Amino acid sequence: MGESMYGRRVVFATALALLIVLSALAVVVPRAAAQPGPVGPKTITVDGDPSDWTGVVPGNNTGIQDAGEYIWNDTAGDDTGDGDYTYPLAADLNVTGLFDLTEVRITADAGNLYFLVKVGNLNNPWGGPDGFSTVSGIILIDTTRDAIGQTSARPNVRVAAGSGWEYWARIGQPGWHAETKKVFDAAGNWAPIENKGSVANDAIEVSIPLAFIGKDGYSINNATWRFMLLWQSHDGFGPNGFRDVVASKYVVEWSFGGGADHGNDPQVQDLAFSASAAAQAAELGSYSATSQATVASYADITFGDVGFVPDSVAPTLSGISASPTFNQVTIAWNTDEIASTAVDYGRFLPPALERSVDEFVTSHSVTISGLRSASTYYYQVESVDIANNAATSAILSFTTAAAPPTNLASFVGSTFVWQDATGDDTGDGNYVYPNEPTVSWAGRADIWFLNLTLEGNWVHTSVRVNAQPETIWRQRMASFVMFIDVDRVPGSGATSVGFVQPESPPGHPLNISVAPAFAWEYMVLGTFQNLSEFTPSDNRGELLIRDSTFNTTLNTYNLVYMSTLNQTTTPRNPRPNAANVYASNGGTQLDFWLNVTDLGLSTNMTYIGIGALYDDAGGGWPNGGIRQVRPSAGNWEGGGSNGPLNPNAYDLAFYGATEAQQTDLSQYGAAFTTITTAMQIDLSTLWNARLSALGMSATLSDADLQSGETSQVTVTLSEGGAPVAGASVRLAANPAAAVDILPPNPTTTDTFGSADFVVRARTASADTSVVLTATGTVEGFSLTSTLSLQVRGLSHTYQVFLAAGTMSLGTGEQTSVTTTFTDKGLPVSGASVTLASSSPLLTVTGSPATTNAQGVATFTVRAGYSEADVTAQITATATNGTAQTIATAMMTVEAFVHVYTLSGSASPVVVAANATTTLTFVFRDAGAARAAATVVISMSPTTGFDPVGDVSKTTDASGQVTFTLRARSLTTDTSVVVTATASNGTATNVASATVTVVAQAVPEAPPVTPAGVTYEVFIAVAVVLAAIAAAFAVMWARSRKPRPPEQPPEEGAGVE
């Protein structure tokens, strides 16, 4: 009973212990444990819905690989940048958790890298088409982890050594910044990415095409790549497209606080993959006034074989077409994958001009303006996919149509109609539109129709541009400027316009003057944007009016009216009833009404019309201005200008011919160009007349003069395109002391409207810029035109030329080196010339030398001894007074070629026993005796002689060395070969020689016998004695014959 009870107790205790252990395991072990393994392949639908991602979320600040994903759980509440960053005050941005990363996931399939980024509280107050708008992030990808990649990174940080990136991607809305929704390589090449957000899920999904990375030879299959993720706010006009960080906290509407108010504040609010919030703050706080913060947090992710195959197939081109008009063409084609857009075109083969669009699309279109009418053009399209595979079409052609009648003025009913030539939007003839691919620029500044109508107390102006309508308000970049000469009194009003808004240089000026005959009272500037950005179908636009009174404080003219101001804004709208404005038809039509009574207008006024582009300067009106044209086009600036003060105008209304318009827009440089054509319109009597003001142009036959040289200045006056004869023209120079203007000055224009002057340059000590101003006077009106001239100061153009008989010398060889010293191509005699070598192996003799009448100085260069080829620089320095110039050449000292020989002799050759012989060896190099060489001898066989002294000796100055051998006592003559081997410095066994000597044998002595006995008798006796001895030996042997051995006892016998 006791044993049974004891057994049961043992069983019970055991079961209880097992139950406790199982319960503990149930508490400790999670129900869905992560399954580690390589990341991918896994395909994600990029739509902002994170349900495709199925891996288990780890603990805070921990990353795991599960379900084919890498999953990082970021600590909530660490969105404080360097530890004390604060959010902006603006309601759109001051949303708790908006910039706080909470989770990051990464995976891949054969085509894409996928990312899931979750934040604490995502919003989209600005209506971003991809589901988010206020946040933006940078993904850095290090495919090599070899410490070679790029370390400078957006937004305003550096990455730690060893994590340099090869690729980076920008998460954001397309078109809101030039870099958003793109992936870039280190060279700046890019490809589009996808990103979609969901406010409901606080998530953004991203895909990056692997073909773009694969173009450089990187494969994700079974590879380990390093990733970094930096997070902040989108700011289309901020540094790097991210929002600025200032020092002040909690006080700035649109900037983060807590920075240091210098250029190195990292624009990063949160950072993925940091071990802790403190580690993140330390990284982002590692900046100073002179250095950026260094980010070191990353995730190394090992991918499986996701099936990636590099793309080596070029796009397929199809549907190539050209749709020409008389002066422009639209070339279109399709590709079977997204690819770039470029067209080479021209009137000659091969087509050498290029137009390209920085985009990746499948439907391609390029519009080229400014073509000649009735002309054949050749073109070739090219598209390059994101893997850098290029497809190029055959060379095709199109022919432009004959030009239709345009530039026509008429009245249709009570409406004045001006039909302008389309395609003439080329400014001075060379202007092109900006390159930003998100904007359809073609025709935005090309005036098509300009209509004016008197509607009661309002003058209604309607302008159409030759562009495609746009649905996105940000693309409505057209602008129209009108000058109105109300009183039509020449010289009464303003004639010159720089800035159209209060700005400081460089700003956004217009840079236009008008002829004094058309001096204006009002400047009207309208844009083709409207309020549909905020309220659909609200076409109220943007218009400003300035009068002719210049305000030096504003750096522009006084404001009369601005549509975006009212009586409650600061500043207020000065005359809110002066105008109304609407923009419609997708940014291609602008209508505005001017209040006749309020502005003091008449119905009979003179107008000038200008087509330009609008630039909102990052803030909209009242900060906007005119988009600039530079020498080369950029993403947001046009190109083709030819110097400073260029007019930022693409088209002019009321000109009869494009060439006349281009001429007026090209007369800039020292001053603004002048518009000389206007339209007078009487809206009451329905009458109009095109007016041509006095025009003056000036040309120089040579704009760059040396002392004493002359240039002809031709000044031409015209009115309405017709020459003006008999006008007085005077030419002045500033500074006047730089040139002489030969008489007559002033002079009068001839029947061709021309007046000629001759300008002669005086002697100048330095280059001098001269402005020539021509002033023409016609019936009391004066016109001026300026030209720029350079008068060159007395200058020298010294040159020294160096030549040698040969540029390669062997040891001891020499050559002649000749230098020629010139000034502007003429020889300089009596100058000092030195010749120097960069190596002591080249010895120069005859330096310094003095140039002769031909400017020549001659030297001798000799090469020294060298064991290897040596290239040295010889430098000729010519000096004339304080002026000095040099010339250099490279000369080679060839390595010395060794030809080692060793010869030997012996005296005597046949040596008697115990006698000696002397061996003499002579060592030569290239035939010359060489001292200090080591000669070692050896003998074969070694039995014939003994050396007397050393067997290794050094040659003397004659290259000679001697050895002594003593013959041994030998029984036979012995021939001995003595081999001598020479060594020279580091070169061993460079030469050998042999000498044969003979050790003579000692003569053989006769045998020794007893005295008086002949040799033969001695031998016979010895034989007999030997026979007797042998007989005695046999007998003795027989007497010693042994007994037979005893037999052993029989088996079993006893033993006594």
What end-to-end distance do the CA atoms of the chain give, in Å?
87
* Cα–Cα distance measured from residue 387 to residue 314, given in angstroms and rounded to the nearest whole number: 9
In which band, very low, low, confident or very high, does the pLDDT at 653 lie, cut at 50, 70 and 90?
very high
Kindly give, in sequence order, each residue whose CB lies less than 8 Å from that of residue 321, ignoring residues fewer than 6 positions away: 331, 332, 333
Instruction: Give 801 or 147, the one with higher predicted confidence.
Output: 801
pLDDT reported for residue 17: 42
Instruction: Indicate whether 731 pLDDT > 80.
Output: yes
Query: pLDDT digits over 207-218, tens only?
Result: 999 999 999 999
* Cα–Cα distance measured from residue 743 to residue 730, given in angstroms and rounded to the nearest whole number: 11
* Cα–Cα distance measured from residue 874 to residue 817, given in angstroms and rounded to the nearest whole number: 10
Instruction: Indicate whether 637 pLDDT > 70.
Output: yes
Query: pLDDT digits over 814-864, tens only?
Result: 999 999 998 878 888 999 999 999 999 999 999 999 999 999 999 999 998
pLDDT reported for residue 743: 93
**DSSP of 192-239, one letter per residue?**
E-EEEEETTTTEEEEEEEHHHHHTTT---TT-EEEEEEEEEEB-TTSG
The token pair that represents 698 in the structure block: 């000036």
pLDDT reported for residue 989: 67
* Cα–Cα distance measured from residue 723 to residue 751, given in angstroms and rounded to the nearest whole number: 7
- Best mean pLDDT range from 151-160, 316-325, 402-411, 1039-1048: 316-325
* Cα–Cα distance measured from residue 204 to residue 129, given in angstroms and rounded to the nearest whole number: 13
Ordered by where they begin, the domains of the chain are 50-302 (2.60.40.1190), 317-399 (2.60.40.10), 419-691 (2.60.40.1190), 695-789 (2.60.40.10), 798-893 (2.60.40.10), 900-999 (2.60.40.10)
> Which helix H or strand E contains 63, and what residues bound it?
strand 62-66
> Which helix H or strand E contains 562, and what residues bound it?
strand 556-562
In terms of residues, how long is the chain? 1056
* Cα–Cα distance measured from residue 658 to residue 429, given in angstroms and rounded to the nearest whole number: 9
Instruction: Indicate whether 548 pLDDT > 50.
Output: yes
Task: Work out the percent of the chain whose per-residue pLDDT is above 90.
Answer: 57
Query: pLDDT digits over 77-98, tens only?
Result: 999 999 999 999 999 999 999 9
Instruction: Give 501 or 319, the one with higher predicted confidence.
Output: 319
pLDDT reported for residue 9: 46
For residue 742, list its beta bridge partners.
Answer: 758
pLDDT reported for residue 565: 83
pLDDT reported for residue 469: 82
Task: Work out the percent of the chain whose per-residue pLDDT is above 70.
Answer: 88
Query: pLDDT digits over 455-486, tens only?
Result: 999 999 999 999 888 766 555 689 999 999 99
Instruction: Indicate whether 103 pLDDT > 60.
Output: yes
Instruction: Indicate whether 30 pLDDT > 90.
Output: no
pLDDT reported for residue 713: 95
Query: pLDDT digits over 933-944, tens only?
Result: 899 999 999 888
In which band, very low, low, confident or very high, does the pLDDT at 696 lie, cut at 50, 70 and 90?
confident
Longest Cα–Cα distance of the chain, Å, equals 185
* Cα–Cα distance measured from residue 642 to residue 659, given in angstroms and rounded to the nearest whole number: 17
Calculate Rg over the CA atoms of the chain: 51
The token pair that represents 349 in the structure block: 């083969």
In which band, very low, low, confident or very high, does the pLDDT at 620 lie, cut at 50, 70 and 90?
low
Nearest-5° Cα angle at 411, 407 to 412 = 110
Over range 780-809, report the average pLDDT.
Answer: 83
pLDDT reported for residue 579: 95
Closest CA to 559 of 581, 569, 544: 544
Q: Which residue reads 């142009």 in tokens? A: 697
- Give the distance from CA 237 to its chain's centroid: 23
In which band, very low, low, confident or very high, does the pLDDT at 780 lie, cut at 50, 70 and 90?
low
Mean pLDDT score across all residues of the chain: 86
For residues 616, 620, 624, 626, the Cα torsion angle rounded to the nearest 10 degrees is 30
Contact 586, 465 (CB under 8 A): no
Side-chain half-sphere CA neighbours of 707 within 13 A: 11
Query: pLDDT digits over 116-158, tens only?
Result: 999 999 999 988 899 999 999 999 999 999 878 898 888 889 9
Coil, strand or helix at 110? coil
Nearest-5° Cα angle at 20, 14 to 23 = 140
Q: Which residue reads 């061996």 in tokens? A: 919
Q: Which residue reads 């005359």 in tokens? A: 575
**DSSP of 1027-1056, one letter per residue?**
HHHHHHHHHHHHTTPPPPPPPPPPTT----
Over range 783-792, report the average pLDDT.
Answer: 88
pLDDT reported for residue 336: 96
The token pair that represents 231 in the structure block: 């997070």
Q: Which of 21-30, 915-924, 993-1002 has the lowest mean pLDDT?
A: 21-30
Instruction: Indicate whether 22 pLDDT > 60.
Output: no
Query: pLDDT digits over 335-360, tens only?
Result: 999 999 999 999 999 998 898 888 89
Coil, strand or helix at 261? coil
Closest CA to 968 of 913, 909, 916, 919: 913
Q: Which residue reads 């236009």 in tokens? A: 512
Beta strands at 157-159 and 293-295: parallel, antiparallel or unpaired: parallel
* Cα–Cα distance measured from residue 131 to residue 145, given in angstroms and rounded to the nearest whole number: 34
pLDDT reported for residue 670: 81
